[in-house]
Structure formats: C-alpha cells, structure tokens
Amino acid sequence: MQYTHLPQLEAKVSKICLGTMTWGQQNNEAEAHAQMDFALSQGVNFWDTAEMYPSPPDKDKQGDTERFMGTWFAKNHKRQEVILASKISPMGFLRDGKTRFNAKHISAAIDGNLERLQTDYIDLYQLHWPERQTNFFGTRGYTKDMAKQDLSELTPFLETLEALNGEIKKGRIRAFGLSNDTAWGVMRYVCEAEKNGLAGPITVQNPYSLLNRLFEVGLAEVAHRENVGLLAYSPLGFGVLSGKYSGGRRPDGARLTLYERFERYINAEAKWATEQYANIAEDAGLDMAQMALAFVNQQPFVTSNIIGATSIEQLKANIGSMNVQLSDDVLSAIEEVHRLQPNPAP
C-alpha cells in the first residue's frame, strides 16, 4: 500500500480509501465487518462514510452504515488504527429538510455520527454537498436558475468555518473537508479561512474517473496550489468501468441492476468511451477495472481513491490496483479517447 501524508492531521492515509455506501443496502452487517477486516489487513487505513448512508438514501435505513462501523470498532478495538471520515448531509428527511451548515446543525449531526460510530472523534468531517444549488450529481453546466439563487439566504461561509473550527477545538473532529463542490466554493472557504485565521478545508471529495474528468478543469489547480487534495469517488463509474455491464448485461445484485436511477454512466457517449477503454485494457493485458483505478491512483492531485465493493473478491482486486503502473503507451491511448469524447458522464 502507498500512503499520502496529511500534515494537517499529522497522519498518513492510504492511497486507497475504503468506501462504505453499499453497507445497509447491498451488504449486511457481517459482510461490512468482513470488508473492514480485509481492508485493514491490506493496509487500507482510510475509511469514508456519511450520516445519510447507505445509498441510495432510505429513511428507514439511514445511518446503518455508520452503525455497522460502530459495532466493528466496539468489537475489535482498532479505532486508533483507522483514519475515519464522515459527513453532514443536507438530505430531505434529515432535520426536516432544513439542514444548514451552521453551529446548531453541524453539532447535532456530529452528535449522531459519533453515537452511531461508537467513537468520540472523527478525523475528517465533510460537508456532503453545498447548501447552494450548483452543478453537482451529473449536472454538467452552471444554469440560469443556479445563477439566480440568493446566497444571502444561506449560511455564510465564515459562519460554517467558525462552526467547524469550534468542533476542532472541542476535539470532536480533527480536520474538515468539502464534497461535491466547485472551484469557486473551495476557494471561498480557503480565502475566508486564511483571512480570519481559521483552519480551512484539507480535502474535497468529488467524482473522478475515466468517464468524468471534470475535476481537471479548474479544481485540479486549486487542489495542487491550495493543498486541498482530491478524494476521488466513483472511480469506476458505479462499476461501469469494470466492464461488467458491457453488451447490455445486468448482473444479479449489481448496482445498476438494482437501481435504474443511476444512469449517467451508461448514456450512449459513456458506453462508447467504455468500449474504447476496454479495448485499451485488453490490448495491454490489463484488468479493465484495475486500469481505470490505476489511472486515478497516478494523478498527482489525488490524495486517496475511494473504492467500493460488494464482495471480498471485488475489494481484493480493487486494492490490487495499487500494484498496477500504467505505461506511457496506455496513458497515450487513454488521452486519445478522452480527446475524442471528454467527460461523457459528469
């Protein structure tokens, strides 16, 4: 395993991060515990969750992912071996759909996170997506309706920063990050923090894969120059880049088989690009999923690559991508496909 140093946490985190959002939907508690056992045995010490998980969101199952992790910590007493990340999520059924990133709601959310996780601190606490409407979750552009939004109705950036810094001082979180945010949003937090002598965001968790490289436009430079590393999620595009859906296949129990709403990675453009990447992997003698993950692993702005799996076999293969180094020929072939069809699945 390779590790990235996070000086703000005085810790090293594995380049592979264990994603957990299937736990409670596609995985039961025993399976989740088995994944945690295996991941830690392979040196994966960075784990990511959220108060809204499992995904897709379900009011009756909300928080189950954190509960599974909490029972694992209680059973194994290995909390100190894990760099734990979680989130506050502005979901409709949480806090009656009125979540604001202010001290009241952040404190209440952390109360719940800590209780479910059976711990007294979270290493990295993230804002799951902005309060404001902007182009995340499959929206490619910045629309007129987004531009019309009155930001004075939302929590000021400084107020959110002060709330998060208050939680750092209490020791309930050690650092914070953003998620599904834009270059403008990240820079506003960075600048407000610097201006007011406060701790700023150290990571941003956004989608990044062969099918969605929008992070490279603007945000990659922010990540590099402002030391806000990317935690890349959906590096396999809901499993599309494993090739398991090729030819219209829908394997039993697979995410896109169970949840048809997740369709942005299987539009016509994404299908074409996926076929080209499959050909590149075949020509190079590479496992397609490992090639896609290795591409993400090798990006200099990536702090950690969040992998998700529903079986130990998938988890083992995904972690194994750390042993794959893409050649210049493979990278050149990937860039040619990207030139012809950039970002088919935002």
Q: Report, as residue numbers or ranges, the catalytic residues.
A: 53
Angstrom distance (rounded) from CA 99 to CA 155: 10
- Tell whether the torsion through CA atoms of 63, 67, 70 and 72 is positive or negative: negative
Work out the widest C-alpha separation in the chain, in whole angstroms. Answer: 55
For the chain, state the CA radius of gyration: 19
Determine the 3-state secondary structure of 19 from DSSP: strand
- Tell whether the torsion through CA atoms of 224, 228, 231 and 234 is positive or negative: negative
- Contact at 8 Å (CB) between 164 and 193? no
Q: What angle do CA 242, 247, 249 make, to 5 degrees?
A: 70
Beta strand residue intervals within 160-251, DSSP E: 173-179, 203-207, 229-233
Angstrom distance (rounded) from CA 99 to CA 97: 6
**How remote is the C-alpha of 179 from its chain's centroid?**
7
Buried b (16+ CB within 10 A) or exposed e, 22-60: bbbbbbebebbbbbbebbbebebbbbbbbbbbbbebeee
Tokens at 237, concatenated? 């595009």
DSSP H helices, 57-150, are: 64-76, 103-117, 144-148
Q: What angle do CA 65, 35, 74 make, to 5 degrees?
A: 60
User: Do you know the residue count of the chain?
Assistant: 346
